[in-house]
């Protein structure tokens, strides 16, 4: 009597858990990723050996580019809106509700106050291409002082950080120090990159 041949079944690999895992990973990375904010100027950050980290919340950043132009950025859109309200009342420049809403979406800006409404009336892509000339810090027209005072009034818990270009003039950075001290802001951070040790 002939032997019965058993048909070997090929093992099946269920791909459903693998697909579920891939989608979970995609969702995780989409929810936890923070995108780089648009900056009005390119900054070459200087190196240092400091290990102190700059806070990620309640932060006002004063950026100084290599040409000495000043920019201000806040990390919270509600604080930006309140800061704009204070500065507009102080300087007597009126903004519409739509302009205030658009201003709250700007991560950083650097324009004289009278030019700001023209920037806010542009569409998003045109705003990115708009060349910002920096916030005036002259003795006669020190608008940076207004913005920093407005930022402090918008959020008393705010911390300040200076993001200066490695090629910025020392006099420009000192001017920002002086403005901060005039406003009784004596604690602030300097944003630097970690210095890479050379070969021993």
Residue 39 in contact with residue 63, Cβ under 8 Å?
A: yes
H or E element, residue 59: strand 59-64
Domain assignment present for 184: yes
| Number of separate domains in the chain | 1
- How far apart CA 99 and CA 130 sit, in angstroms, is 16
In eight-state DSSP terms, residue 144 is: H
SS3 40: coil
Containing domain of residue 127, as a range? 50-194
Look at residue 6 and tell me if it is in a domain. no
**Each residue of 120-178: pLDDT tens digit?**
998 888 888 888 888 888 877 788 889 999 999 999 999 998 888 888 888 888 888 88
Does residue 33 belong to any structural domain of this protein?
A: no
Cα separation, 139 vs 160, in Å, equals: 22
In a domain, 20, yes or no: no
Q: What percent of the chain has pLDDT over 90?
A: 12
d(CA 106, CA 35): 14
Contact in structure between 73 and 107 (CB atoms under 8 Å): yes
What CA–CA distance (Å, rounded) separates 75 from 105?
10
pLDDT band at 199 (very low <50, low <70, confident <90, very high): very low
Least confident of 4-8, 22-26, 124-128, 147-151: 4-8
Question: What 3-state DSSP class applies to 159?
Answer: strand
What is the pTM for the complete model shown? 0.72
């Amino acid at each position: 009597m002939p032997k019965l041949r058993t048909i070997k079944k090929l093992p099946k690999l269920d791909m459903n858990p693998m697909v579920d895992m891939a989608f979970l990973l995609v969702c995780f990375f989409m929810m936890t990723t923070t995108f780089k904010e648009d900056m009005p100027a390119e900054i070459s950050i200087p190196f240092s050996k400091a290990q102190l980290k700059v806070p990620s919340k309640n932060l006002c950043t004063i950026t100084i580019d290599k040409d000495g132009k000043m920019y201000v950025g806040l990390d919270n859109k509600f604080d930006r809106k309140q800061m704009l309200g204070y500065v507009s009342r102080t300087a007597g420049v009126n903004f519409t509700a739509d302009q205030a809403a658009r201003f709250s979406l700007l991560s950083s800006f650097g324009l004289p106050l009278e030019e700001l409404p023209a920037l806010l009336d542009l569409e998003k892509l045109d705003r990115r291409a708009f060349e910002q000339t920096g916030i005036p810090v002259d003795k006669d027209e020190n608008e940076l002082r207004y913005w920093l005072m407005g930022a402090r009034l918008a959020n008393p818990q705010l911390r300040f950080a200076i993001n200066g270009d490695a090629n910025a003039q020392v006099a420009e950075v000192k001017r920002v120090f002086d403005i901060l001290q005039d406003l009784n802001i004596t604690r602030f951070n300097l944003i630097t990159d970690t210095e890479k040790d050379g070969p021993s």
